[in-house]
Structure 1
Amino acid sequence: MSLRRPTRFVGRGRGITLRQVAPNAVTAMALCFGLTGMRYAMSMEWERAVVAVVLAAVLDGIDGRIARMLHGESRFGAELDSLSDVIAFGVSPAIILYLWSLQAMPRFGWIGALGFALCCALRLARFNAQIDVADQPLKLAGFNMGVPAPGGAGLALLPIFFWFSTGWDMARDWRLVLPWTLVVAFLMVSDLPTMGWKRFRVPPSLRLFAIGAAGIIAALLLTAPWPVLLALALVYLALIPIAWVSYARIRRQRARVRDGAA
C-alpha cells in the first residue's frame, strides 16, 4: 500500500503578514474619515466635517511611514492610498465647500466643486503614472510637483478655518470661496515646485527647540484648533513662492555643473 502525499492546492497562498496589513488598514481608516466628513457636512455639522478631513490627513501622513518602517510597501497599498486621497481630499472637501457655501451660487456652484474634485483626481492619476519613473528632477531635489492632495484639501478649507476663527460671515460668500477653490485646484495640477518633507532640515543646535515647538503646536491644536489650522495653512501658502525660488536656484546650479562638465 503506497502512501499518498497531501494534495497541494494551486493558487492558495500563505496569506499576508500583519506588517503588510497595518499600513493598508490605516489608509482605509483615512478613507472612512473622508467619507464621514461628507456625512457630517450633509447634516450641517461643519466642525465635525472639517475635523474628519483633518484626521484623514493625519492618517495619510503616517501610513506610508508605517509601511516603510515595517517593510510592508506594496503596489496594492500605493493604489489604495491614491483612491483614499481622491475621496478624503478631493471629493469630501468639494462636498463640504459646496454645502457650506457654493450651493448659494446660481447654477455654477456645483461646477466649482466638481472642478476641485476632478483636479485632485487628475493629480493623483499623474502621480501614479510617474510612480516608477526614476528621473524626476523635482522629487530628487526634495520638492513636490504641485500641491499634494492633503495640502490642497487644507488650503481649500482655509475659508472655513477663517470662518471658525473669526465668525465673519463674509468668508462664506461664494464670490470669495469659488475663486479660491479654483485657485487651489489649479495649484494641485500645476507643475509648480512645492516643499517636500526632505527639504526641511533642523540644525543640531535647534533640535530641542523644534521638538518643544512641535509639542506646543500639538497642545494649541487641542485648545484652539481653528486659529492654529488657519495659521498652518497660511504658512504653507507662503512656502509656495519660496519653493519656486529655491528650485530655480537649484536648476541654475545644475546647469552650471553641466556646462562645466561639458
Structure 2
Amino acid sequence: MIGKKKRSRRQSPRLSGLTINKIIPNAITVSATVAGLSGIRFALEGRWEFAAGAILIAAILDTLDGRMARLLNASSDFGAELDSLSDFVSFGVAPGMIMYFWSLGDLGGIGWACALFFSICMGLRLARFNSVLGTQPPYAYNYFQGVPAPAAAGLCMLPLVLTLVDPSLHDFFVAEMVAPWIIFVALLAVSSLPTFSFKKMKIPSAMVLPGLALVGLAIAMLVGRPWVTMSIVLIAYLFTIPFSVQRFAKLKAEAESLHEDGEETSSEAEEGDTPSNKS
C-alpha cells in the first residue's frame, strides 16, 4: 500500500574487541611462557632432554612473536610488557631452576643462591633493555648491551646440553664447576659488553643464496642432531663476543671523531662570522 511505511532493516551490532591478527603475537608469547614453565616440570621428572628442548622451543617462539607483531601490525605496549615477563620466566627463572635440579642442588644453599643470582641478573638485564630502548646512538643499532636473554639461557644450560651430546661428560661437569659457570653467564648478561644483535645485520646480495643454504643445513642439523647443533651454535656465539667488542669500539671511535670534526668546523664558522674589533 502507498501509505504504508517501509520497514528499516535492523543491522546486527558489530562485536567490539581485538581481531585474531592482534591476538596471534600475544598467543605466541604465552606459548613461549608455557614452554619455559614446562621445562621446570621436565626437570623435576629428570627428563633433561625435554627440559632443554622446552627452553629451545621458548627461544624459537620468542624470535617469532616480535616479527609476527610487526608483520601483522599488531605491536602494542601490552604485548611489549607481556614479552618481557615471558622472557624473565622462560630465560631467567626456568633455566636457573633446571640447572639447580640438574646439578646445583648438590651444593645445597650455595647452589640455590647461584640459581637465584642468575634469575635476578636476567630480570635486571631485561629491565635495563626496556629502559634504554630507543635511546642508543645510531652506531649501536646492531648491538645489544650484554648477552641477550635467550642466548644467556642457552649458555647457562650449555653444560647440560654437552652431557646430552656425550653422557660421559656428566662426571666432568660437577656442581663445583657448574656454579662458577652460571655466575659468569649471569655477569655477561648484566655487563655493558656490546654483543651482536644479528637482527638488523645486512647480507650482501651475493651471499643471500649461500646464506639460505646454510640456514637450511642448520635446521636439518637441529632436527637430526639437536644437542650437537645447540652446542656448536652456543660455543660459536661465545667466540663472537670479542669481535663484537672490537667492532663496537671502532664504530664508537669513528662516531666520536666525526662529532669532534663537526664541532671544530662549527666553531671555525662562528669565528669567521664574528666582526673584528679594529679601531
TM-score after normalising by structure 2 = 0.86
What corresponds to 2:241 in structure 1? Answer: 240
Inter-CA distance 137–39: structure 2 relative to 1 (3 Å threshold): same
Inter-CA distance 142–85: structure 2 relative to 1 (3 Å threshold): same
What corresponds to 2:74 in structure 1? Answer: 72
CA distance in 2, matches of 1:139, 1:119: 26
CA distance in 2, matches of 1:140, 1:40: 39
Matches within 5 A, 1:33-182: 33-131=35-133, 134-137=134-137, 140-167=140-167, 168-182=169-183
> What is the DSSP-based 3-state SS (H/G/I as helix, E as strand, rest coil) of the residue aligned with 1:79?
helix
CA distance in 2, matches of 1:36, 1:106: 24
RMSD: 1.6
TM-superposition CA deviations, 1:133-177 (whole Å, max 9, x none)? x33127843101111110100111111111111221234301111
> What is the DSSP-based 3-state SS (H/G/I as helix, E as strand, rest coil) of the residue aligned with 2:144?
strand
TM-superposition CA deviations, 1:82-133 (whole Å, max 9, x none)? 11001100110001100100011143110000000010111112222233xx
CA distance in 2, matches of 1:166, 1:234: 16
- Larger mean CA deviation between 103-112 and 165-174 belongs to 165-174
Is the 8 Å Cα contact of residues 30 and 55 (structure 1) preserved in structure 2?
A: yes
Counterpart residue identity of residue 77, structure 2: R
CA distance in 2, matches of 1:139, 1:15: 40
What corresponds to 2:277 in structure 1? Answer: none
What corresponds to 1:6 in structure 2? Answer: none
TM-score after normalising by structure 1 = 0.91
In structure 1, list runs of 5 or more residues that go unmatched: 1-12
Matches within 5 A, 1:15-34: 15-34=17-36
- Larger mean CA deviation between 198-207 and 94-103 belongs to 198-207
C-alpha displacement at 1:260, in angstroms? 1.1
- Larger mean CA deviation between 18-27 and 119-128 belongs to 119-128
> What is the DSSP-based 3-state SS (H/G/I as helix, E as strand, rest coil) of the residue aligned with 1:197?
coil
CA distance in 2, matches of 1:138, 1:169: 45
The structure that has the greater radius of gyration is 2
TM-superposition CA deviations, 1:43-77 (whole Å, max 9, x none)? 00000001000000000001000000000000000
CA distance in 2, matches of 1:65, 1:42: 33
Give yes or no for the alignment of 1:202 onto 2:203: yes
Inter-CA distance 65–199: structure 2 relative to 1 (3 Å threshold): closer
Is the 8 Å Cα contact of residues 21 and 74 (structure 2) preserved in structure 1?
A: yes
TM-superposition CA deviations, 1:187-234 (whole Å, max 9, x none)? 111111010124533221121111111101111111111111000001
Q: Percent identity?
A: 38
What corresponds to 1:10 in structure 2? Answer: none
Is the 8 Å Cα contact of residues 162 and 171 (structure 1) preserved in structure 2?
A: no
In structure 2, list runs of 5 or more residues that go unmatched: 1-14, 264-279
> What is the DSSP-based 3-state SS (H/G/I as helix, E as strand, rest coil) of the residue aligned with 2:78?
helix
Q: Paired residues, what number?
A: 249
C-alpha displacement at 1:256, in angstroms? 1.0
Is the 8 Å Cα contact of residues 143 and 199 (structure 1) preserved in structure 2?
A: no
Counterpart residue identity of residue 155, structure 1: L
Inter-CA distance 34–138: structure 2 relative to 1 (3 Å threshold): farther
Counterpart residue identity of residue 47, structure 2: E
Counterpart residue identity of residue 201, structure 2: F
